[in-house]
Structure formats: structure tokens, C-alpha cells
Amino acid sequence: MYSLIKSFLFLMPAERAHHVTTRLLNTLSKIPGVSSILRAMFHRNHALLERELFGLKFPNPVGLAAGFDKNAEHLHAMQHLGFGFIEIGTITPKGQPGNPKPRLFRLKKDNALINRMGFNNEGTEATIKRLKNRPKNLIVGGNIGKNKVTPNEEAVSDYLNSFDALFAYVDYFVVNVSSPNTPDLRQLQDKEPLMELLGSLQKRNSEKQAQKPILLKIAPDLTNTQLDDILHIISETKIDGVIACNTTISREGLITEFSKVKAIGAGGLSGQPVRAKSTEVIRYLRDKNKELPIIGVGGIDGPESAKEKILAGANLIQIYTGFVYQGPALIRRINQSILKDIK
């Protein structure tokens, strides 16, 4: 059924198709009885699927990655599709429009997307208004970043502002310094600025009555030396884990015609082309640190690629591009496969 829906959606520009899909899902989920039908179709509940990580109990290991629901607009609808957790954002202190459109592109031959959204979001105040009415039984992570106009020298202030504002409304935080679509943002992954940023967030976290888990989202384009630095920083700052990985700036190995890729231009590549690299990063991190909580993301579009991430060392996984190409049945298929292997 989803293949027919996808055929229709893929006739539209990618960003417009996203908005049509999410609005339709929001509308359908409000019709009496539809939410029960969706849950019956897509949920797979079993005690063996439950995971406990950084003090939170996840009903299953399959989450929705940041970027899909930037402003917490779709939590009530998306919870019916079987996700074990949903990550909102990236959220910046002040709302911003992001980069000019078009800024989201499909590479159908590669089962991939290129985006240069640029942290388009409505800011913390608008997001909080929705989070006050968030589903009570859903784990929600808050992915935070800096505003485009904020220089890197003042980035810590932006992250602290969002951390303080969202603290009461999300279950864990993700520090995004790895998006390629905000100028110079990835420079914050360097050792000194990253130590300052994570150290400042942890200090603020320690001042709260009850602390929240803080994770770092990293790029798949880092060298092993840079990954070693990040592991050292994680150990020093005692943050709770890492999400590996964000989108890549690489265009290696694509099937799509070079001319089309060149015409699209800059942006982060996600989906199948980043699968191997993200798994490699996860395996490297796990080999270096047996206890580090890792959420794996990148190129997961079926049970095989999901289990690949888990075998490499991921405790939980997230999907986005695979969800676009495969539809909501993907979540149940992955959970069914994991459960079958456990049994």
C-alpha cells in the first residue's frame, strides 16, 4: 500500500511531500478509531524489545531521528506508528527560516536524500507550547543547535539557553555540532570548543535538581584521530552517550548521475550511501569503549541494516531516510526481526 502512496508523494518536491504526509497523518490520527487501527498495524510490543539506557526505559530500540519533526508538531500522530522514541529538532533559541528552497532532494537510485535545511525551526518558545501537551507515554529527545547568526565564539550561550528552556519538557538532550548546513558549525567538533561546550552543558546539568541525559551527535566524516578526541572529551565531561552519525558531505559511490548531484549542490547526504561509514564509526567507538551508550543512525532501511548497526555496537537505532523510502511498516519489520533473533 505504501508503494502506491509513495508514488504519489514522489511526484511532489520532497519538502512539500513531507508537509503533506505529516499533516495528513495528524488529521487521520484525530479521527475516532484511526489511532487504534494505526497502532494495531504498526506497533510490536514485547518485553524482550525493551531497552534501558541512561536511566530511561525504551519500549523498543527503534527511534525517529531528528529533522523529521523539528517543532514537535507531530508527536501525537507519530507515536501511533510504533517508534520506541522520537527526537525533535534541531531547535535553536530563536526561530529561523533556514536556507532558501529548494533544500531537500531525493536521490531515488541511491535510496538517499540530500538536505541543506539549515536548522529551520520555530525556536524554543513555540516548541515548548506544543511540548506542554506532549504524549505522556512517549520518550522525547530534544536536539539542540545554535542560531545561524550566532558566531561560534558565542555558541555555548545558545546551547545553554535551549537546554534551560527545554529542560522540563524533554527526556534527553542531543548536542548537534555536526550538521553541514550551518556555516562553520562543524568547527565546534574540534577538541577545544567541544570540550568547552559539553563541559558547560554538564555544569549546568549538575545544577538542576534532577539531571537529564546529554548525548553528542557526530558526523560520519571524522578521522579516527578525531574520534579518539571525542571519546576523550566524552570521558572527561561525562556526558551520557553519542549518536553516530549525522549526514555526510561526501558524494562517493553514488549511482545517481554526477550531473544531477552537482546540480543539487551542497548539503548533507543521508540514506543508503552513508550506511557503511556510519556502521564503521559505531564499530570503532564500541571497540574503544565497551560501555558507551551509542544510538546508531545512517542507512537503516530494513531489518538487515538495523541489525548491522546493533551488531556493530549500537544500543538503540534511529531511522529517517529509510522511513521516507520504506514507510511506517519499516518500524514493525525491524522490531519483528529483532524479536525473532532474541527468541
**In the block, which residue shows the cell 527503534?**
62
Distance CA 195, CA 332 (A): 39
How many residues in the chain?
A: 343
Q: Is 179 considered catalytic here?
A: yes
Rounded to the nearest angstrom, the gap between the alpha carbon of residue 62 and the centroid of all alpha carbons in its chain is 11
Catalytic residue among 179, 270, 278, 305: 179
User: DSSP letter string over 88-133?
Assistant: EEEE-SEEE--SPSP-EEEEGGGTEEEE---S-EEHHHHHHHHHTT
Pair 280, 227: CB distance under 8 Å: no
Say which residues have a Cβ less than 8 Å from residue 164's Cβ, sequence separation at least 6: 204
Q: What is the spatial distance between Cα 140 and Cα 143, in angstroms, rounded to a whole number?
A: 10
Dist CA 294 CA 306 (whole Å): 14
Residue 172 Cα to chain centre, angstroms: 13
Known catalytic residues? 179
